[in-house]
Amino acid sequence: MTSKVGATSAYVWLWLPGADEPVVCGRVTADGPGADAVHRFVYGRSYRARAQAIALAPHALPLREGEQVTRRGLPGVLRDAAPDAWGRRVLAHRLRYSAERADTDLTEIDYLLLCGQAPGALHFQTTPESYTAQAEGAASLEQLQQAVASVEGGEPLTPELELALLHGTSIGGARPKALLRAGDGRRLIVKFSSSADIHPAVRLEALGLALARAAGIETVRAERLQILGRDVLAIERFDVTDDAPPRHFISALTALDLDEMEARYAGYPALADFLRRYAEDALGACRELYRRLLFNILIGNTDDHARNHAIFWDGRFASLTPAYDICIIPRLGLEASQAMEVGGEGKRATLKNAYSESGRFGIDAVTARAMAREIEDAIRAHWAAQCDQASVPEALARQLFERTVLSPAVHY
């Protein structure tokens, strides 16, 4: 559903667990323009009266009467469903806006209403009366690849390609991407190569995901493709299938009740505390999270910020989604820092730092060290084969293994 630019309110529709159709759960309003404007959310009275009603986020947006006012920006769970850099760039391109004009003229609620289908179970509409599904558009991978190049080059798109590309812009992240329904019915997130890539980012993400699976981590299913001579990563969505309603999920940032300006305070131990409180299988969830932490340290994935971790939330229990956005990031030096707090030494990317807080995950020191050795052995055993599978150039693979992957610095 379209909206005029400058929108200051939207109705939030939610697919409740097991529901056949979405319901209006509340309304969000903005006090003014800009990403830092104060926003207000109120749950609808009829929604609160439903026996199946859930809080959109347990800490950040509890189910209660009255307005809930943010410190700045959108409520976290709604910001999770809003576009990041790439989506905002696509919308500005569609409106023929410069980046400066988009920052001035578009509200955060504009982005919710105009950027196509949001991931997960939240949808945004201009009315509470009736729900209108977002048009998906129809385009091939080849057409989408060309559309990405056009946006990056500032060239015009056909209306059909604009719609197809805009449909996926609510997916977070800075990389070019789109939503696509495969010929076999699967719902995909498609990540494209960018003209700004210094390293083969798509190949390195495919490699990171493959090694994570080899190390016993549950990841999204992904396949690397070549489209018009460029790398593309096709990822199966974990939030929606044809035989079930969309699943509601929140980012780790929202789970920790932090906003964008507070992201630097997010940490793995704090996320483990959240899972211990809300996960049905708390020990299993914390062990999985700890395994992901150790893997990110050992593999050199330092882009593990709190929006790159997500949690299914059904109003009662929380569970980790499959891991995603696992990318090996080449670096010159040996030492590194993770994007989230690791342990007693802050974000320092060392096993010693991770061991210092293993108890918060319900893991003793002996088990923590054994888990790290198991992950390291898996990386060593599968490195060469998975580099070949991902077509990582031999020189880059050698450079990565010497400095980034299993860096000696992780043992400092």
pLDDT digit string, tens, across residues 323-369: 999 999 999 888 999 999 999 999 999 999 999 999 999 999 999 99
Strands 177-181 and 39-43: unpaired
What is the pLDDT confidence band of residue 70, given thresholds at 50, 70 and 90? very high
pLDDT (0 to 100) of residue 123? 94
Mean pLDDT of the chain: 93
Q: Rounded CA gap, 109 and 10, in Å? A: 7
The more confidently predicted of residues 349 and 186 is: 349
pTM of the model: 0.94
Q: Are 90 and 165 in contact (CB under 8 A)?
A: yes
- Given this structure, which CATH class describes domain 249-411? mainly alpha
pLDDT digit string, tens, across residues 276-325: 999 999 999 999 999 999 999 999 999 999 999 999 999 999 999 999 99
For 14, the token pair is 């939610």
Among candidate residues 307, 174, 299, the one with its CA nearest the CA of residue 252: 307
> Residues of CATH 3.30.200.120 domain(s) within the chain?
141-236
CATH topology for the 141-236 domain: Phosphorylase Kinase; domain 1 (3.30.200)
Q: Rounded CA gap, 179 and 136, in Å? A: 8
Q: Rounded CA gap, 226 and 202, in Å? A: 11
> Residues of CATH 1.10.1070 domain(s) within the chain?
249-411
Q: Are 38 and 72 in contact (CB under 8 A)?
A: yes
pLDDT digit string, tens, across residues 270-283: 999 999 999 999 99
For 365, the token pair is 């020191």
Among candidate residues 328, 257, 318, 265, the one with its CA nearest the CA of residue 289: 318
Residue with tokens 């690849």: 145
Question: What string of H, E and C letters represents the secondary structure of the chain?
Answer: CCCCCCCCEEEEEECCCCCCCCEEEEEEEECCCCCCCEEEEEECHHHHCCCCCCCCECCCECCCCCCEECCCECCHHHHCCCCCHHHHHHHHHHHCCCHHHHHHHCCHHHHHHHCCCCCCCEEEECCCCCCCCCCCCCCCHHHHHHHHHHHHHCCCCCHHHHHHHHCCCCCCCCCCEEEEECCCCCEEEEEECCCCCCCCHHHHHHHHHHHHHHCCCCECCEEEEEECCEEEEEEECCCCECCECCCCEEEHHHHCCCCHHHHHHCEHHHHHHHHHHHECCHHHHHHHHHHHHHHHHHHCCCCCCHHHCEEEECCCCEEECCECCCCCCCCCCCCCECCCECECCECECCHHHHHCCHHHHCCCHHHHHHHHHHHHHHHHHHHHHHHHHCCCCHHHHHHHHHHCCCCHHHHC
